[in-house]
Structure formats: C-alpha cells, structure tokens
Amino acid sequence: MDDQKKGKAIVITSGKGGVGKTTTSANIGTGLAMNGNSVVILDADIGLRNLDVVMGLENRIVYDIVDVVEKNCRLKQALIKDKRFEKLFLLPAAQTRDKTAIKPEQMIELIDELKKDYDYIIIDCPAGIEQGFQYSIAGADEAIIVTTPEISAVRDADRVIGILEAKEIHNPKLIINRIRPDMVKKGDMMNIDDIVDILAIDLLGIVPDDEAIVISTNKGEPVVMEEKALAGQAYKNITNRIMGEEVGLLNLETEEEGKLSKILKLIFGK
Amino acid sequence: MDLFGLFGKRKEQSKNVAKERLKLVLVHDRADLSPKLLEMMKSDIIRVISEYAEIDKNGIDIKLTRMKKEGENSPVSALVANIPIIKVKDK
C-alpha cells in the first residue's frame, strides 16, 4: 500500500447556483498545484460545462468525463494538462449530455481511480440537490460549502449541510464568497460571524467581491496566481488551510476601512 | 464616523432583518416542517386542549424555535406553545 498514493477528494458545493463554485474550484485546484501537489479538478456539471473556460483550457478538450465512464477512452486520455502547472489536470464535463449520464457508483469508481495517482481531486458540483449533486458527492471524502452573504445562498447552504450530514460527509468547511466590506460596515450585509453562527460549521475562508476575479476569469487565469489581488490572497490562504497550515483570516474590513476612514478624516478632521 | 447620525437618517440595519428572516425559515427547513403543517398541528393542539379547558384563542402563540438541550452542543428544534387558559372545564 505504501507505493500507492492515496489522494483526497473534496467536493465544492453550495446548493444555490451562481455563488462561485466553479471559480472556487479553479482557484483551490490551481492553488494546491502551485504548492507542488498533483491535482485533478473535475467538472461534474454535465450539460453546463464551464470549468474549462474559467481555467482557460477550453481549446484542448478531446474527451470528457462521460467518455471515461462509458469507456470510450482511458481516464488518462481525458485528463487535460494545465498550461501553467505541471501537475494540474482538468477532467471536463460533457456538454451535450445531461445529469443522467453518470451514476453515483460510476463516480465512486472514477474518483477511487484518480485518488491512486493524485494528491487532491477537486469536484466542482453542479447547483441544486438532484442527480448531479448526488453523484458529485458520492465519491467525496470532504466537502467545502460556498455561500455568499445573502439569505437565499445561506439558506441553500444550510440545506446542503443537512444532506451531506445524512450522507455521512461530516464537518464540511465554509467559504463565504463576495463579501463587500463597505456594505458589511454599514450593516447592510451579513458579516462573517452572522453567517458562521447560523450555519454552525467551521470557516475555511472568506473571499472579497473583487474586480480582479472578473478580470482573471475573462483571461482564463485563476486569480490565485495574482499576488497583488486581494481575492488572490484570499484563495492562497484557503489553499494553505486545506494543506493543514494555520493562516489568519484576511482582514477585509480594515483594508477597506483604512482607505475610507482616511478620506473621511481628511474631510471631517476626525 | 457615523454617516447616518451625521445626516440625521438612522434606519434599521438591513442585515438584521436578513438574519431574523433567515433564522425563521431555517427553523422550518431544518425541522422539515412547513408553515402549513404547523398550522394543522396548531389547530389539533387547540382542539385537544379545548376539551379540557376554555382557552383564550387570541392569546395563543405556537411556534417552532431552536433550543439548546442540556449537555448537547448543537441546538434542537422545539415547538413552543403558549396557550392562555381562561377556565378549566368541569368534567
């Protein structure tokens, strides 16, 4: 067993759509690879493939996950090697099929296979709690819940946490995405404590609503590679925590407050 | 620096509204109990109690909430009923 590597499969899920699962998957996967880990990011959103464009690998797809499951190709043939990192791979979703194309057992088999050769398997789960969600969590050892500071996203996150617990995926970790420190400060957006209190799970990290994410997605380059971007720093911290390091939370409030209060002090002198 | 105070326009923080609404829907979500089902339970409870006592129908407050149980970390769902009794019926 010693020469057989045993990787860890982590599903990125949220319930609600549009909260940043795919961006989170791309950045965590890339961040882990930047640290020398071998990583496969698996796009489980069959029919609505997107991880390929976020990663900037859309032109390289030949086979996809359904081809692997249906044995039209070997697993290694479907894995797309990243342009930037030697040990980073993407297993793309099929675009012209639907979520009935994969069964949970097939997913378990596929992930077990990947875990032999790679340190981390990051599963980008589709929105919802139906079939796509069910097969996405089937092979996962751990889960990361992505939410935003909105009622609907937190509600869905709570629901997903309950389902994961029932499926015996314990202790999911939370990422709060798209925080706007200016709105939090005014009391017009739930803050980190509010959300952590309500969901009652461990916080893995916070990511600010950062223009840099839009720009990096436009270019197909995960923001985690961007040293200077606040969101890049946030994902870097998250990656380090996944690897077991203790990293303090990014202080969004003071950075934003810093600028604002400086201006206010100039105007009001206090 | 308090801008609302400065312009004399203090209003309730909308995040608190969000939090309260969220807590309420989650109580129902987690217990898998819809407001409709709660309403049915409520009328059954009232019917049963009415057999024994005359109750103040306007003062009834039955709701689902979260409660910390002795010796347990995570809170559990609890049905809290406040039913004012006017007079116990003679049996």
Q: Looking at residue A185, what is its pLDDT? A: 94
Angle (CA) A138-A7-A89 rounded to 5° is 90
**Residue linked to tokens 């809290």:** B80
User: SS3 for chain B, per residue?
Assistant: CCHHHHCCCCCCCHHHHHHHHHHHHHHHHHHCCCHHHHHHHHHHHHHHHHHHEEECHHHCEEEEEEECCCCCCCCEEEEEEECCEEEECCC
CA distance A265 to chain B (A): 9
A31 pLDDT more than 50: yes
Q: Which domains are present in chain A?
A: 8-268 (3.40.50.300)
Contact B22 A187 (CB under 8 A): no
pLDDT of residue A257: 47
pLDDT tens-digit map of A140-172: 999 999 999 999 999 999 999 999 999 999 999
Q: What is the ipTM of this complex?
A: 0.80
Size of interface A-B (CB pairs under 8 A): 42
The pLDDT assigned to A99 comes to: 95
In a mutational test of the B interface, the residue from A188, A265, A267 whose CB has the highest number of chain B CBs within 10 Å is A188
- pTM for this entry: 0.83
Predicted pLDDT of residue A35? 97
Task: Give the model's pLDDT for residue A220.
Answer: 97
Of A158, A187, A268, the CB nearest to B29: A158
- Higher pLDDT, residue A8 or B77: A8
Q: Where along chain B do its domains lie?
A: 34-91
Which residues of chain A lie closer than 8 angstroms to B66, CB-CB? none
Tell whether B19 lies on the interface with A, counting CB pairs under 8 A: yes
Tokens 């009328």, residue?
B43
pLDDT at site A254: 46
Closest to A211 in 3D by CA, of A189, A190, A192, A226: A226
The more confidently predicted of residues B37 and A182 is A182
**Predicted local confidence at residue B66, as pLDDT:** 72
In chain A, residues with a C-beta closer than 8 Å to the C-beta of B26 are 155, 158, 198
Residue A96 pLDDT > 50: yes
Q: Which residues 35-74 in chain B show a CB within 8 A of chain A?
A: 74
Is the CB of A198 less than 8 angstroms away from the CB of B22? yes
Predicted confidence (pLDDT) per residue in A100-156, tens digit: 999 999 999 999 999 999 999 999 999 999 999 999 999 999 999 999 999 999 999
Contact A188 B15 (CB under 8 A): yes
Average pLDDT over every residue of A39-65: 97
Under an 8 A CB cutoff, do B29 and A191 touch?
A: no
What pLDDT is attached to residue A4?
61
pLDDT of residue A15: 96
CA atoms within 13 A on the CB side of B26: 26
Interface test with B, best of A152, A165, A183, A186 (most B CBs within 10 A): A186
Task: Say if A189 is an interface residue toward chain B (CB within 8 Å).
Answer: yes
C-alpha dihedral, B83 to B85 to B86 to B90, nearest 10°: 140
CB contact under 8 A, B15 and A189: yes
CB A10 within 8 A of CB A155: no
Residue whose tokens read 């464009």? A53
pLDDT of residue A146: 98
Query: Residue A6: what pLDDT?
Result: 86
Residue-averaged pLDDT of chain A: 92
CA distance A107 to A102: 7
- Contacts of residue A105, defined as CB under 8 A and 6 or more positions apart, other chains included, come to A138
Q: What is the largest CA-CA distance in chain A?
A: 70
Q: Does B10 touch chain A (CB under 8 A)?
A: no
Contact A57, A183 (CB under 8 A): no
Q: Are A87 and A114 in contact (CB under 8 A)?
A: no
A154: nearest CA partner in chain B: B22
Spell out the per-residue pLDDT of chain B, length 91, in tens.
Answer: 555 555 545 578 999 999 999 998 998 888 887 888 888 988 999 999 999 999 998 888 888 877 777 776 666 778 888 999 999 988 6
Tens-digit pLDDT profile for residues A198-256: 999 999 999 999 999 999 999 999 999 998 999 999 999 999 999 999 888 887 754 44
